[in-house]
Amino acid sequence: MKLLNRSLVYFSIALFLIMTVWAVIFYVNMLDEVYDSLDDGISNEELLIIQRAQKDTTILNHATFNERNYSIKEIDLQTAMKIKDVYKDTMMYMIFEEQMEPVRMLSTAFEREGKFYELKVISSMVEEDDLIENLFWSLVGLYIILVTSIILINNILLKKIWHPFYQILNQLKTYRLGKTKEIETIETNVSEFKELDMAVKELLNHTDETFNSQKQFIENASHELQTPLAIAINKIELLLDKNDLNEEQSVSIGQSLALLQRLTNLNKTLLLLSKIENKQFIEKEKVSLNEITQQIINDFQDFSEFKEIEINFTENGVLEAEMNPYLATIFISNFIKNAIVHNIPNGKVTVNISNSVLTISNTGKPEELDKEKIFNRFHKEHGEQNNTGLGLSIVKSIANLYNFKVDYTFDGQHCFKIEVK
């Protein structure tokens, strides 16, 4: 949901709650004013009726309301002393409405020539349920009008105000480290957007400088390491070719050569990992993972036969992905190599491809691997000395780069499932 729409939702909810509270307060205050007005009118009517009773005794005989809005009946002194002015709501049958309607009634008592009378005066009042209904629909109409107005303002006025923000956002979406030279300056009179534009520029410039510096450092460090390593390996190989070394010396030199070769492979692997994480493999194209997998299996055929490992490859669909072809080869190669290396004599490797999933499973150690650690750099299982611990770390970095989902399970065999989105 966009920021403008989210703010509109929150504002609408807040407006609804405010209007609800306001409606309750308004309703209570309005009823109070209505009752005050009715009570004042009834009190005035009471005084007028009592004054008329002092002059006209005939009205003292009206014991029922009938067509009048009052009733008078004679009572004794004790009853009169108990009666106080009481205002209350009650129901009365209305001939015009042909139903019971709410009225406001005043009950009081007065004295005339030593006799006491009970006086009841009524006044029609607004029906409370009708009042609530009318108020409810009025508020609904007002709420709809307000929200509609806010939506129009939101999509016309606020969208125009937030236009510089979306310009900055669009430039950030298309920005690429090492590729985009600079972003355009946003023309705006809003100070916050000016500050945001300046902050984004400073951050991107700093990030770009750091990226270029890191990239140059990695390349230089790799080159400076690779050259002396190659020279050292070459000299050791020449030394081994001589026949004047005894067996113990040959073994020691051979071990040193193996260590240097491991160091060379480690250097290359770390450089590759750094390039992947810095997204230096920008070029992408649609590659067939079926063809790449088949080619890698053919390349590893001699190695698997030497390790006495059987490889079974099944294609149940065509799996394609938008990615760098070189990284695609490394991605699948590391999985298959890992399945061969970490296997048992006369073991099996099973590779299955469907339209969206690549599954690689292999026999191996009878216990499950640690899911939380197998993709970490330099993680090695116990007893593994010749392994750099970077193979699965590389495939995880490539998977993250292209939003592939990699999952590991163990059901007697070690299974890696790769979902290509």
CA atoms of 204 and 175, how far apart (whole Å): 9
| Total count of domains within the chain | 3
Q: What is the mean pLDDT of the chain?
A: 78
Q: Quickly state the pLDDT bin for 185 (edges 50, 70, 90).
A: confident
**377 shares a domain with 345:** yes
Please tell me which of 59-73, 148-162, 292-306, 376-390 the model is most confident about, judged by mean pLDDT: 292-306
In this predicted structure, what is the pLDDT of residue 352? 92
DSSP conformational letter for 61: G
CA atoms of 231 and 8, how far apart (whole Å): 68
**9 shares a domain with 140:** yes
**368 shares a domain with 334:** yes
**303 shares a domain with 262:** no
Q: Quickly state the pLDDT bin for 210 (edges 50, 70, 90).
A: confident
Is it the case that residue 388 has pLDDT exceeding 60? no
In this predicted structure, what is the pLDDT of residue 345? 86
Q: Is residue 186 part of a domain?
A: no
CA atoms of 353 and 418, how far apart (whole Å): 10
Residue with tokens 């004599």: 345
Q: Is residue 46 part of a domain?
A: yes
Q: Quickly state the pLDDT bin for 218 (edges 50, 70, 90).
A: low
CA atoms of 108 and 49, how far apart (whole Å): 12
**135 shares a domain with 7:** yes
Q: Is residue 171 part of a domain?
A: no
Amino acid at 15: L
**76 shares a domain with 7:** yes
**141 shares a domain with 60:** yes
Non-local (6+) Cβ contacts of 187 within 8 A are 164
Which CATH number do you get for residue 372? 3.30.565.10
Domain that holds residue 395: 285-419
**300 shares a domain with 259:** no
**230 shares a domain with 120:** no
Q: Is residue 170 part of a domain?
A: no
Query: What is the tens place of the pLDDT at every residue in 45-103?
Result: 888 888 888 887 777 877 777 667 888 888 888 888 888 888 888 877 766 666 777 78
CA atoms of 309 and 183, how far apart (whole Å): 55
Non-local (6+) Cβ contacts of 51 within 8 A are none
In this predicted structure, what is the pLDDT of residue 95? 64
pLDDT (mean) for 97-117? 81
Query: What is the tens place of the pLDDT at every residue in 228-271?
Result: 767 777 777 777 676 666 777 777 777 777 777 666 766 666 66
Is it the case that residue 380 has pLDDT exceeding 70? no
CA atoms of 341 and 334, how far apart (whole Å): 10
Is it the case that residue 118 has pLDDT exceeding 80? yes
**406 shares a domain with 339:** yes
More confident residue, 54 or 386: 54
Residue 262 C-beta-side C-alpha neighbours within 13 Å? 12
Phi, psi of 75 (to 5 degrees): -135, 170
Closest residue by Cα to residue 396 from 412, 374, 378, 413: 374
Final residue belonging to a domain, choices 253, 277, 301: 277
Is it the case that residue 379 has pLDDT exceeding 60? no
Lowest model confidence (mean pLDDT) among 128-132, 194-198, 260-264, 326-330: 128-132
Amino acid at 137: W
CA atoms of 336 and 348, how far apart (whole Å): 11
pLDDT (mean) for 337-363? 89
In this predicted structure, what is the pLDDT of residue 206? 81
Q: Beta 348-353 vs 310-315: how paired, if at all? A: parallel
* Six token digits for residue 20: 């609800």
The H-assigned helical ranges of 242-279 are: 247-277
**116 shares a domain with 84:** yes
In this predicted structure, what is the pLDDT of residue 115? 84
Final residue belonging to a domain, choices 277, 303, 338: 277
Q: Is residue 36 part of a domain?
A: yes
More confident residue, 210 or 126: 210
In this predicted structure, what is the pLDDT of residue 246? 72
Give the distance between the most distant pair of CA atoms in the chain: 153
**134 shares a domain with 7:** yes
Question: Is 314:353 a contact under the CB 8 Å cutoff?
Answer: yes
Final residue belonging to a domain, choices 146, 172, 204: 146
